[in-house]
Amino acid sequence: MEPDDPIHPWRVLESGHGPDLRLFRPRWDLVENPRNGYRLRALVLETPPWANVVARDAEGRFLLVRQWRFGTRSRSLEVPAGVVHTGEPPLEAARRELLEETGCAAARWSTLGSVAPNPAVHDNRCHLYLAEGVERVQEPSLDEGEDLETLWMTAEEVRAAVADGTIHSALAVAALARVLDLRVAAPEPAD
Amino acid sequence: MEPDDPIHPWRVLESGHGPDLRLFRPRWDLVENPRNGYRLRALVLETPPWANVVARDAEGRFLLVRQWRFGTRSRSLEVPAGVVHTGEPPLEAARRELLEETGCAAARWSTLGSVAPNPAVHDNRCHLYLAEGVERVQEPSLDEGEDLETLWMTAEEVRAAVADGTIHSALAVAALARVLDLRVAAPEPAD
* pLDDT above 90: residue A15: no
Q: How far is A92 from chain B (nearest CA, A)?
A: 10
Measured between CB atoms, which of B34, B70, B122 is closest to A42?
A: B70
Residue B181: phi, psi to the nearest 5?
-80, 110
Calpha distance A184→A78 (Å, rounded): 19
The one-character DSSP state at A84 is P
At residue B63, the 3 state secondary structure works out as: strand
* pLDDT above 80: residue A125: yes
What predicted TM-score, i.e. pTM, was given to this entire model?
0.95
Report the percent of chain A where pLDDT is more than 90: 86
pLDDT per position as a tens digit, A63-82: 999 999 999 999 999 999 99
Inter-chain touch A163–B122, beta carbons under 8 Å: no
Kindly list the residues from chain B whose CB atom is less than 8 angstroms away from the CB atom of residue A29: 70
Kindly list the residues from chain B whose CB atom is less than 8 angstroms away from the CB atom of residue A22: 43
pLDDT average, residue stretch A34-49: 94
Phi-psi region of B73 (alpha: psi -120 to 50; beta: other; left: phi over 0): left
| Cα Rg of chain B (Å, integer) | 19
Tell me what pLDDT residue A2 has: 64
* DSSP line for B163-189: HTTSS-BHHHHHHHTTTS----SSPEE
Q: How far is B182 from chain A (nearest CA, A)?
A: 6
Residue B152: phi, psi to the nearest 5?
-100, 130
Calpha distance A70→B116 (Å, rounded): 12
Question: In this predicted complex, what is the ipTM?
Answer: 0.95
* pLDDT above 60: residue A185: yes
pLDDT per position as a tens digit, A81-98: 999 999 999 999 999 999
Calpha distance B28→B10 (Å, rounded): 14
Measured between CB atoms, which of A67, A118, A130 is closest to B71?
A: A118
Strands (E), chain B: 11-17, 25-32, 39-46, 50-56, 62-69, 74-78, 81-83, 104-105, 108-115, 126-132, 135-136, 148-153, 188-189
pLDDT per position as a tens digit, B74-111: 999 999 999 999 999 999 999 999 999 999 999 999 99
